[in-house]
């Protein structure tokens, strides 16, 4: 409809909700997911959506994510504590899409989605706003505020600013014009001392011990770095991968951890010739699920698909090197200007 914003359409839809509306970010919510959920909560509340809650599954693991909940009064609860959640309720997925491995399919009907990951196809949503070219979901939510002339309160502006900071690695990873515009507009509304405090809470003492062990496992092959983490802590994997990519000469990181239920994989790429999402899909091919962005992606292989006599380390390295060599050979044979897109898409 002419002049109707995305927020208008979403609110119109949610007004029809038979009972409660749950905002659901991905499991183990990170700062971008928490900020986006908080921002959307305020937007929907200000537009008169009542019976609203933010619900997530699993654990909030990282110190900075936990600190955000207190600093910004985030009304978020665990799915297991949402006693009124049921089939009659609707959900808006945030920073994730239905069927992705990192989101629990709760009893609610997922009627809407706002995300910045690669498009996983129409899952029967009544509202969808998926922008894979944007570096953070927080920038999309910030856009909803400014587009609708709603001023984000200080706690929301600060959370969204921090979400952009984290998901774009300080505007250096996959940042779009929207991330930069929203960063600029949020900045004067935010409390920078809170950002400073969060930056000072990015790892816990326990994390440090896990990192120390993990960094001993780092192995380099050309531009690729491999790291194995002996922990069930999901969010550390990506952060450890970021550190591996920052090693001089290394542009691609593969971090993985073995769990009782399978192997969790996180990939990073700072190379224009290799997409993290293509790499992870190659690693899990025929055995599990994976996806993400050009610069960061994740995947999972369930334990039942693993062969006991195959070493996980060898398996991951074999597949990653095969991907690297074939993409590298391919790109060397192609016209240089076309090589990245020709092979990778």
Burial degree of 96 (CB within 10 A; 0-12, 13-18, 19+):
buried
Query: Min. distance of Cβ 283 from Mn ion in angstroms?
Result: 21
Q: What are the E-state strand segments in the chain?
A: 21-25, 52-56, 76-78, 90-94, 109-115, 127-130, 219-221, 224-229, 252-259, 262-269, 289-292, 296-302
Query: Min. distance of Cβ 30 from Mn ion in angstroms?
Result: 7
Nearer to Mn ion, 30 or 223 (CB): 30
145 contacts: CB under 8 Å, gap ≥ 6: 39, 43, 151, 152, 156
Nearer to Mn ion, 118 or 313 (CB): 118
Please say whether the beta carbons of 68 and 165 come within 8 A.
no
Q: Which residue of 57, 61, 89, 95 would you call a contact of Mn ion, by CB under 5 A?
A: 95
What are the strands of the beta sheet with 76-78, ordered from one edge? 76-78, 52-56, 21-25, 90-94, 109-115, 127-130
x/- map, 247-286, Mn ion, by CB under 5 A: ----------------------------------------
Tell me the site size for Mn ion, rule CB under 5 A.
4
Query: Min. distance of Cβ 159 from Mn ion in angstroms?
Result: 13
Nearer to Mn ion, 36 or 331 (CB): 36
Query: For Mn ion, which stretch binds (CB under 5 A), given 69-77, 135-143, 179-187, 299-307?
Result: 135-143
268: closest CA among 324, 317, 225?
A: 225
Query: For Mn ion, which stretch binds (CB under 5 A), given 32-40, 153-161, 173-181, 225-233?
Result: 32-40
Separation between Cα atoms, residue 112 and residue 58, nearest integer Å: 21
Query: Min. distance of Cβ 257 from Mn ion in angstroms?
Result: 20
Query: For Mn ion, which stretch binds (CB under 5 A), given 58-66, 165-173, 205-213, 234-242?
Result: 165-173
Burial degree of 215 (CB within 10 A; 0-12, 13-18, 19+):
middle
Nearer to Mn ion, 32 or 143 (CB): 32
119: closest CA among 148, 97, 92?
A: 97
Query: For Mn ion, which stretch binds (CB under 5 A), given 57-65, 120-128, 163-171, 266-274?
Result: 163-171
Query: Min. distance of Cβ 221 from Mn ion in angstroms?
Result: 29
Query: For Mn ion, which stretch binds (CB under 5 A), given 27-35, 73-81, 206-214, 303-311?
Result: 27-35
Task: Tell whether residue 167 is a contact of Mn ion (CB under 5 A).
Answer: yes
Nearer to Mn ion, 240 or 287 (CB): 240
Separation between Cα atoms, residue 114 and residue 93, nearest integer Å: 6
Q: Which residue of 49, 137, 236, 250 would you call a contact of Mn ion, by CB under 5 A?
A: 137
Nearer to Mn ion, 167 or 278 (CB): 167
Please say whether the beta carbons of 56 and 23 come within 8 A.
no
- Kindly tell me the sign of the dihedral angle through the C-alpha atoms of 155, 156, 160, 161: negative
Please say whether the beta carbons of 299 and 319 come within 8 A.
no
Query: Min. distance of Cβ 167 from Mn ion in angstroms?
Result: 5
Nearer to Mn ion, 102 or 271 (CB): 102
Burial degree of 308 (CB within 10 A; 0-12, 13-18, 19+):
exposed
Query: Min. distance of Cβ 313 from Mn ion in angstroms?
Result: 29
Nearer to Mn ion, 137 or 257 (CB): 137
What six digits make up the tokens of 62? Answer: 């990282």
Residue nearest to Mn ion (CB): 32
Burial degree of 307 (CB within 10 A; 0-12, 13-18, 19+):
exposed
Query: Min. distance of Cβ 31 from Mn ion in angstroms?
Result: 9
Query: Min. distance of Cβ 137 from Mn ion in angstroms?
Result: 5
Q: Which residue of 10, 29, 32, 280 would you call a contact of Mn ion, by CB under 5 A?
A: 32
* Bridge partners (DSSP) listed for residue 9: none
Residues lying near Mn ion in the complex (CB under 5 A)? 32, 95, 137, 167
């Amino acid at each position: 409809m002419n002049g109707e914003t995305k927020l208008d359409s979403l609110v119109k839809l949610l007004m029809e909700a038979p009972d409660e509306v749950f905002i659901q970010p991905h499991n183990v919510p990170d700062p971008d997911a928490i900020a986006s959920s908080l921002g959307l909560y305020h937007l929907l509340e200000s537009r008169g959506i009542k019976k609203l809650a933010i619900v997530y599954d699993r654990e909030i693991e990282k110190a900075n994510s936990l600190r955000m909940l207190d600093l910004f009064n985030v009304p978020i609860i665990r799915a297991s504590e949402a006693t009124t959640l049921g089939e009659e309720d609707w959900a808006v997925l945030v920073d994730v899409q239905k069927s992705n491995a990192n989101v629990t399919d709760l009893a609610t009907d997922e009627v809407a989605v706002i995300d910045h990951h690669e498009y996983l196809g129409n899952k029967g949503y009544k509202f969808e706003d998926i922008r894979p070219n944007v570096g953070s979901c927080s920038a999309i939510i910030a856009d909803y505020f400014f587009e609708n002339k709603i001023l984000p309160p200080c706690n929301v502006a600060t959370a969204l600013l921090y979400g952009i900071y984290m998901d774009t690695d300080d505007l250096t990873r996959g940042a779009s014009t929207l991330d930069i515009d929203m960063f600029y507009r949020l900045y004067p509304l935010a409390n920078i001392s809170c950002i400073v405090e969060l930056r000072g809470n990015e790892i816990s003492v326990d994390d440090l011990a896990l990192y120390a062990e993990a960094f001993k496992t780092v192995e380099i092959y050309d531009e690729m770095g491999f790291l194995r983490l002996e922990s069930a802590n999901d969010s550390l994997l990506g952060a450890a991968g970021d550190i591996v990519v920052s090693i001089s000469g290394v542009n691609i990181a593969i971090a993985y951890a073995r769990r009782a239920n399978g192997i969790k994989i996180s990939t990073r790429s700072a190379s224009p010739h290799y997409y993290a999402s293509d790499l992870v899909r190659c690693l899990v091919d025929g055995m599990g699920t994976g996806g993400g962005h050009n610069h960061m992606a994740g995947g999972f292989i369930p334990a039942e698909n693993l062969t006991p006599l195959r070493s996980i380390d060898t398996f991951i390295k074999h597949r990653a090197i095969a991907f690297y060599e074939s993409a590298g050979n391919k790109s060397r044979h192609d016209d240089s200007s076309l090589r990245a897109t020709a092979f990778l898409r």
